[in-house]
Amino acid sequence: MKIIRFTLLFVLFTYGTFTVDAQNFSPPLRIPVSLSANFGELRNNHFHSGLDYRTQQSVNKPVYSIDDGFVSRINVSPGGYGLALYIDHPGGHTSVYGHLNSFSKRIADYIKQKQYEKETYRIDIELKPEEIPVKKGEQIALSGNTGGSGGPHLHFEIRDTKTQDPLDAKDFLGKTMTDTQKPDIRGIAFYPQEGKGVINGSSNPIRLNIGKTKSGDYGGLGKTIHAWGTIGMGVKAYDRMNETGSVLGVENVALFVDGVPVFRSSMNRFPFDKTRMINSFVDFEDWRNNKSFFMKSFVEPGNTLTLYETINNGYINISAERNYNLRYELSDHYGNKTTYSFVIKGQKQAIPPVPVCDNRMSVLLSNWFTNADFMLSIPMGNLYTDICYNHRQWASLIYYSDVYQVNNKPVPLHRSAIMWLKMNDKARKDTTGFGIIEINKKGEEEWMGGKYKNGGIEVAINELGGRYAISRDTVAPVISPVAPSDWVKNGRINITLKDEKSGISFYRGEIDGKFALFSNDVKSTTYTYVFDSSRLTKGQLHQLIFRATDGAGNKSEYRIEFDY
């Protein structure tokens, strides 16, 4: 019964991709369409929630509202989407425009007013329908490269207004793009399930790259696969599209065993609170270790993403000594399809037993590990699968604690765990300026901070596999003016702000004792105030005070007088 229901759904899914666009939206840009990223693309700790439109390698392309509606939210921040605009439309959808360089005048005036009211550059406000209504095709902004953006482009989303789930914008604007290119398979992976399956005598995963012959056909696996018991599969693949050189994410993945569809994922919407489940969607260990994205074709117990259709959660049982014929089918939004067929040889062999484990952690429980110097507490709902926690620690002369290796391999957590490290004796007399750092494989340190508690520091971590210790930052941020004699001539004040170790956690500029709006982007150490004669009287001597605090609480202040 279950299988019949699945097959029906599968047929509906396959032919459902060719539906007519649900709304008649107009495109957000009026330059030829070229995408650098598509919906659901695989990113670090999240699925990409929109389409990235190229903007001809430059900023300041006019951005237009895709339909009538009203500005429902404005978000300004140094990172993330930078300058971002949200517009609600009458049909129940919200469009989102990110990494903008500037807003159109009435939106810019509105947000500046709010920034002065709240005395902050970083702002995230929701608006009522009557405040800023917009018309379809109205220019609302200029494109940019603000926030967490690696080059000029427009990040564009369509969301379900009610749930705020991002949707595949190609379902609405697909007709404005062409795509005749098929997805491209790069690798196949095999995952014997611990204690239940074996491949070529081992319970370790096998990850194989798939090459192409001179004629452009795919090569073979390059290795014979003998399997027994329960295994999972994975595939590494990318998509291509006309008018762009970028490699994009694959929308639909289907796996067939002897012609039977056992797994299908179809990326067309997801809730934001599940976007971190990408770390279970992909082979997280290989992503962390090799920067490679194998998409798993089985669903782990803690993964509740709803983009799957499976039999037995995609797990395959090899229980006969015969050839199993497997086939991957990858397709894009326009039905361009790539297939790859290969064979697994069923061969009876001993299944390695589950290794002895002192600290087994269950997906169904809250889990913890503690000793006199260390505490790790993982609330329920953080693991995607059971793990064996492995702990190592050793004394250090450099740091203010032992060095801790928190598990021997990368394991994703859905939200976060609390970790506490004890300070050593030399740190105990004065507890200011301390924080936890993560030490990467190259020995580089990243400041995580945390708060002092019971003779140690506590911090939240969101994956296992890292190396940590307590370090100290006693050096305050450095504030430097940039060419103050040119400030008035240039119409702006530029200041650079740097902190070597723990980074900037707070800054504030004041002119004549009143808040002055300094903007900043995460990619730059420059903080900018644009002279505003409606807020600052001309023909006077003014005093600027700029203050900053770093992640360890060290404070700096800079004062200067200037004529304006």
Q: Which residues bind Zn ion (CB under 5 A)?
A: 52, 155
CB of 154 to Zn ion, least distance (A): 8
Token pair of 391 as six digits: 């702990």
Single-letter amino acid code for the residue at 433: G
> What is the rounded CA–CA span in Å between residue 556 and residue 323?
70
Residue nearest to Zn ion (CB): 155
Nearer to Zn ion, 46 or 327 (CB): 46
Which one, 250 or 376, has the nearer CB to Zn ion? 250
Q: Which is nearer to Zn ion, 46 or 345 (CB)?
A: 46
Helix runs in 63-160, H state only: 105-118
Taking the complex as a whole, the smallest distance from the CB of residue 50 to Zn ion amounts, in Å, to: 5
Buried-state track 372-388, b at ≥16 Cβ within 10 A, e below 16 = ebbbbebbeebbbbbbb
Least Cβ distance, residue 559 to Zn ion (angstroms): 40
The Cα–Cα gap between 235 and 188 comes to 5
Nearest approach in angstroms of CB 36 to Zn ion is 8
Cα separation of 156 and 34, whole Å?
A: 13
Pick between residue 52 and residue 463 the one whose CB is nearest to Zn ion. Answer: 52
Nearer to Zn ion (CB atom), residue 155 or residue 276: 155
Cα separation, 318 vs 259, in Å, equals: 15
The answer to whether the beta carbons of residues 88 and 94 sit under 8 Å apart is: yes
Q: What minimum distance in Å lies between the beta carbon of 79 and Zn ion?
A: 13
Closest contact distance (angstroms) between CB of 83 and Zn ion is 14
Distance CA(521)–CA(185), nearest Å, equals 37
- The distance between the two most distant Cα atoms of the chain, rounded to a whole number of Å, is 91
- Complex with Zn ion: residue 147 or 435, whichever CB lies closer: 147
Shortest gap between Cβ of 48 and Zn ion (angstroms)?
A: 6
- Return the residue matching tokens 């260390």: 374
DSSP letter, residue 8:
H
- Asked if 421 and 373 count as a contact pair (C-beta separation under 8 A), the reply is yes
Closest CA to 161 of 129, 132, 192: 129
> Measured from the CB of residue 81, what is the shortest distance to Zn ion in angstroms?
8
User: CB-wise, 173 or 221, nearer to Zn ion?
Assistant: 173
Rg (CA), the chain: 27
Closest separation in Å from C-beta 110 to Zn ion? 25
Residue 155 or 170: the one with the smaller Cβ distance to Zn ion is 155
In what helix (H) or strand (E) does residue 518 lie, and over which residues does it extend?
strand 518-520
Contact yes or no for 151/55 (Cβ under 8 A): no
Residue placing its CB nearer to Zn ion in the complex, 53 or 374? 53
